[in-house]
């Protein structure tokens, strides 16, 4: 084959590798950057004293009682992670078909929120609004004749959101996927003096197989039946429907929206952020965490590199923030600790 460089001394004239070959130029031309400011740490809380219980399906992630949780939050504060998202593990003896404990102003989540905000008023605290941790059937809403009743559930979700706002959380995050819940919660918050409480809506939450470890963590699985949430969570085949869902929540008063899961739905994150121009968060869910963590434990991949690469993918897709169980690990990597 003829050597092209003989006739074209500068061939090829465009060499993209030139920029990639120098550390300084890679930094300057980086299109997306991951910051500690992008991170939200999900935390699992449980009743008891001195509890720090590892979740088997999520190595390195624990359920904390309130006393041990505060020490863990110290670490989160030191890493300068701006916000946490709280999820309760409720004892089965306290669950019922109506999830009534969710409305108790002295329930676990409310006690935890009050304690955290009393000691760390500047830490963002996000509370999950859904009934699945509190119901004995494991669904996110109330069952009527075996079907989750949308409108009856709305009344309970509104009360749950008010209880959490009164405990002092900065944002409520409805994850139930009931129609109209953002509007109902926004109206109730405003009418009850919580105009500043934000709504961070799980606007596009898919009926995903990637939630398994999370359901272990909050013990929301029903051992008697397989819980099918596909009548209210989204069909993984659909993307236009996600944009409709997100648009509805924006119009109903959401302050931010969440796409869940994250990595299998990067296209949805991209469309939401680029088409709707609205603050969009990605949730790197428990199954995503478990896959990366278990693969790294078997030396199938480099954990540190996989953490940063996976989180950068959300930023590249357009996410302005990321809920990730890797948040503390990522913060350490970003700070080179």
332: annotated active-site residue: no
| Sole residue written with tokens 């061939």 | 11
> Which of 95, 114, 229, 260 is flagged as catalytic?
260
> Which of 205, 229, 293, 315 is flagged as catalytic?
205
205: annotated active-site residue: yes
Residues noted as catalytic:
205, 260
């Amino acid at each position: 084959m003829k050597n092209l460089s003989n006739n074209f001394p500068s061939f090829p004239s465009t060499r993209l590798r030139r920029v990639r070959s120098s550390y300084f130029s890679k930094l300057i031309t980086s299109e997306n950057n991951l910051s500690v400011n992008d991170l939200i740490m999900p935390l699992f809380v449980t009743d008891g004293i001195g509890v720090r219980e590892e979740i088997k399906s999520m190595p390195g992630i624990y359920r904390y009682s309130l006393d041990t949780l505060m020490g863990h939050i110290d670490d989160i504060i030191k890493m300068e992670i701006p916000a946490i998202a709280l999820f309760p593990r409720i004892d089965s003896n306290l669950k019922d078909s109506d999830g009534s404990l969710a409305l108790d102003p002295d329930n676990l989540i409310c006690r935890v929120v009050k304690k955290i905000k009393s000691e760390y008023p500047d830490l963002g605290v996000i509370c999950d609004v859904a009934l699945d941790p509190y119901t004995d059937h494991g669904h996110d809403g109330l069952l009527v004749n075996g079907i989750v009743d949308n409108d009856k559930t709305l009344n309970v979700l509104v009360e749950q959101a008010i209880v959490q706002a009164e405990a002092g959380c900065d944002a409520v995050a409805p994850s139930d996927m009931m129609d109209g819940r953002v509007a109902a919660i926004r109206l109730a918050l405003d009418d009850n003096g919580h105009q500043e409480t934000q709504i961070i809506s799980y606007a596009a939450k898919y009926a995903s197989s990637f939630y398994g470890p999370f359901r272990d963590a909050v013990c929301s699985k029903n051992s008697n039946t397989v819980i099918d949430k596909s009548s209210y969570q989204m069909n993984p085949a659909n993307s236009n429907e996600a944009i409709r869902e997100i648009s509805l929540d924006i119009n109903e008063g959401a302050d931010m929206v969440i796409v869940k899961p994250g990595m299998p739905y990067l296209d949805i994150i991209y469309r939401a952020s680029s088409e709707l121009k609205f603050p969009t968060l990605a949730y790197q869910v428990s199954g995503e965490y478990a896959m990366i963590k278990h693969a790294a434990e078997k030396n199938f991949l480099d954990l540190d590199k996989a953490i940063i690469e996976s989180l950068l993918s959300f930023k590249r897709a357009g996410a302005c923030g990321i809920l990730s169980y890797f948040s503390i690990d990522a913060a350490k990597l970003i700070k080179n600790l």
